[in-house]
Amino acid sequence: MVKADGYGLGMEDVVRTLESEAPWGFGVATVEEGLRLRRAGVTIPVIVFSPVSPDSYDPAVAQDLTLTVSDLDSVERVAAAATRTGHIGRFHVEIDTGMGRSGFDWRRVAEWGPDLADRASPASIWEGCYTHFHSADLEDDGPTRAQWESFNSALKRLAPEKGSLIHSCNAAAAMRYPTFAADAVRPGIFLYGGCVGKGVAPPEEAARVRARVTLIRDVPESTTLGYGATYCSSGNERWATLGIGYGDGFPRVLGNRGNALLAGQKFPIIGRISMDMTVVDITGAGGVEVGDAATLIGTDGDGVITLDEVADLAGTISYEILTGFTARMPRIWITE
């Protein structure tokens, strides 16, 4: 899965990195993301995993993107786009087993199942079926097992053609329920350094977020800091200003609660995070200079601030942290 600009890291660079693993294909959320991959030279299958607007079918089919369908009208749109463009229309059938946001209802397969093939055309191909687990990262395995049973119940009624690609596992399910892998898995956040639940070994670090020290100030007692003056020095302190803020996607909520690493040591973020600046208290630290790189996510020497640690402090999930970084934040790829 490389949607949302490669989970915020830069889709084209992510794809170039993953191509060495020879994936069967790539997953995206929108037709424009798929077209972007084609423009980047990707020739292997690209599946669009969200419902798309009616005007997106023609460009998708023309560029050999595989669409996913959640209703019979969408099956007809794929067929019509194939006729208009003169290209083969490829689609996967999403079966809703509890996620609820899209897909055919597995409980009503007797109603929609018989019409699937009829709504297609000789120019469109039904290539696969899938579902999406909503709770594979939780310790309770009941919901995931129930979804798997529902999915297989629907598949038995549908009897997709031999060779159809059957898939259900996101990253959490792939790690926790390997017997549900079927023909393919759809790893996402785990590839990018995010945890997928208790009992699963943490992923290797995939990205670090760093910012330069742009200013160091020695301040006296009772010096206030930031909008709202939410921090006030309790004595003589040394502050380091970092060139990063919520304009770069670094969460504002981490003010007075997050941390940064400098020279392998962890220092607290103080005051509210501004659009362009973040301040850390480096009182007592030696050797920190203007121009040094502070690490806000990742490792520095023996110190580490994990992606999930930051997400927990921000009251959100690792996905939102990564995908929230803006275009102003440079993505620098290191090949080891």
User: What are the residue numbers of the active site?
Assistant: 3, 227
Kindly tell me the sign of the dihedral angle through the C-alpha atoms of 173, 176, 181, 185. positive
**Position 192: which residue type?**
Y
Residue 284: half-sphere exposure toward Cβ, Cα within 13 Å: 5
Distance in angstroms (rounded) separating the CA atoms of residues 38 and 11: 12
As beta bridge partners, residue 124 has 89
Structure tokens at 63: 């560029």
Kindly tell me the sign of the dihedral angle through the C-alpha atoms of 145, 195, 165, 63. positive
Non-local CB neighbours of 168 within 8 Å, separated by 6+ positions: 130, 131, 132, 133, 147, 148, 151, 180, 182
Distances (CA, A) of 300 to 36, 124, 260, 296, 306: 34, 52, 10, 10, 11
Distances (CA, A) of 264 to 11, 167, 193, 300, 311: 30, 43, 20, 5, 21
Share in percent of the chain as helix, strand, coil (round to 5): 35, 25, 40
Structure tokens at 248: 């770069």
Structure tokens at 184: 């393919």
CB neighbours (10 Å) of residue 103? 21
DSSP 274: -
Structure tokens at 188: 């996402």
∠ CA 54-58-59, rounded to 5°: 110
